């Protein structure tokens, strides 16, 4: 017999009353599209010979030729210049950004891989002359400490396999990038999100669900893209 709860669920799902209806998770519908796009990007980057260590690129956030130049452009952003605290992902393409944060005297909050150990906090005063080493995953564990009372980040650095001109990003499939951004914004409110990619990672459209994270600024080795908000106006953050 169909329960009242099942009837309500069926009606919300657009199914006839008294007929069982399988509830569909929208994420399940786009998961194959996401995986197809990941494989297209990984293949394209391999074919163009623009990927660098760590290899193979499949299953990873791609490190790319020009990632250091992209990091240098991030350093020119007004949001960066004003920032006191930088949050960054632990992936290889953003290692130089983490190093620049410490060299520029900014507190660095870094996500541990797969968030197994939460967030790590590195004080630039503790790593003078060791910024390059401290910006690696191994160095962050050596010189950093658990971010128990984390200060509010002024900029969030994230990574992606692909990103579109509306700011929707596609990660490697674990969901950790989305979790990192959501956790910080839930606690501290809106904060500009920046990613660095090779120009080949820029695509027309990324399949996305409501919970997926968007970026506000995309930086390639030779260009900065600011993403307009819903009104079509580029957002300037305080």
Tens digits of residue pLDDT in 94-142:
999 999 999 999 999 999 998 999 999 999 999 999 999 999 999 999 9
User: What average pLDDT does this structure show over 35-60?
Assistant: 97
Q: How far is CA 128 from the centre of its chain?
A: 27
In the chain, the number of structural domains is 1
Residue 13 located in a structural domain: no
Residue 106 located in a structural domain: yes
Q: How far apart are the C-alpha atoms of 172 and 177, rounded to whole Å?
A: 9
Q: What is the CATH number of the domain that holds 179?
A: 3.40.50.10420
DSSP string, 135-183: TSHHHHHHH-EE-TTPPPPSEEEE--SEEETT-BEE-SSS-HHHHHHHH
Q: Which residue has the higher pLDDT, 232 or 131?
A: 131
Q: Which residue has the higher pLDDT, 20 or 62?
A: 62
Residue 144 located in a structural domain: yes
Residue 19 located in a structural domain: no
Segments forming the whole domain that contains residue 55? 28-226
Say which residue the tokens 């870094």 belong to.
Answer: 110
Residue 232 located in a structural domain: no
For residue 29, what pLDDT is reported?
Answer: 85
Q: Are 197 and 61 in contact (CB under 8 A)?
A: no
Question: What confidence tier does 28 reach under pLDDT thresholds 50, 70, 90?
Answer: low
pLDDT reading at 60 higher than 50: yes
Residue 99 located in a structural domain: yes
User: What average pLDDT does this structure show over 190-219?
Assistant: 95
**Can you give the pTM of this predicted structure?**
0.85
Among 14-23, 28-37, 53-62, 210-219, which stretch is predicted with the lowest mean pLDDT?
14-23
Residue 14 located in a structural domain: no
Residue 4 located in a structural domain: no
């Amino acid at each position: 017999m169909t329960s009242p709860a099942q009837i309500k669920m069926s009606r919300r799902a657009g199914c006839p009353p008294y007929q069982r209806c399988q509830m569909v998770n929208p994420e399940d519908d786009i998961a194959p599209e996401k995986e197809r796009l990941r494989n297209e990007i990984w293949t394209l980057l391999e074919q163009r010979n623009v990927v660098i260590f760590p290899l193979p690129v499949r299953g990873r956030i791609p490190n790319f030729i020009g990632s250091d130049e992209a990091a240098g452009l991030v350093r020119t952003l007004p949001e960066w210049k004003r920032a006191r605290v930088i949050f960054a992902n632990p992936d290889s393409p953003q290692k130089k950004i983490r190093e620049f944060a410490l060299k520029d005297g900014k507190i660095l909050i870094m996500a541990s891989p797969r968030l197994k150990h939460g967030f790590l906090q590195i004080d630039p005063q503790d790593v003078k002359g060791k910024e390059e080493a401290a910006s690696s995953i191994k160095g962050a564990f050596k010189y950093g400490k658990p971010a128990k009372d984390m200060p509010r980040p002024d900029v969030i650095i994230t990574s992606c396999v692909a990103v579109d001109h509306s700011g929707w990003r596609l990660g490697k499939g674990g969901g950790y990038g989305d979790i990192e951004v959501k956790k910080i914004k839930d606690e501290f409110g809106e904060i500009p999100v920046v990613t660095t990619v090779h120009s080949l990672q820029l695509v027309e459209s990324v399949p996305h669900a409501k919970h997926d994270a968007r970026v506000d600024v995309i930086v390639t080795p030779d260009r900065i893209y600011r993403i307009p908000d819903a009104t079509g106006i580029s957002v300037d953050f305080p």
